[in-house]
Amino acid sequence: MYEEKTLICKECGCEFIFTPGEQQFYADRGFENEPQRCKACRDARKGYGKTERKKYIAKCAACGGEAKVPFEPREDRPVYCSDCFARLQNKEESSR
């Protein structure tokens, strides 16, 4: 029913293939317009404006390992690595 179509990306000007599977996907969701950007340009556009969050390194209060956290650690509050934090969360949930 659908055939491959060669389209031109309006962002970078490169040709890209609009596959029959993609066309079916668009039709199933009721999209009326064909894509105007290649996959690389669509992916780049989705990430546009997002900034990487700064990570701080601290010592885990439970195991002593390295913990990377998205906030600046304070001396008066414990910081946990991902594994220890998950274990603590599971303990709290099971005790409820």
Q: What is the dihedral of CA 39, 29, 50, 16, to 10 degrees?
A: 10
Give the whole-angstrom CA distance, residue 36 versus residue 16: 10
What does the pLDDT look like over 33-42, one tens digit per residue? 999 999 999 9
**Average per-residue pLDDT in the chain?**
91
- Helix, strand, or coil here: 57? strand
The pair phi, psi for residue 88, each rounded to 5°, is -65, -40
H helix or E strand, kind and range, residue 77:
none
Hunting for tokens 């690595």 — which residue is that?
A: 81
What pTM did the predictor assign? 0.50
Tens of pLDDT, residue by residue over 6-61, are: 999 999 999 999 999 999 999 999 999 999 999 999 988 887 767 778 899 999 99
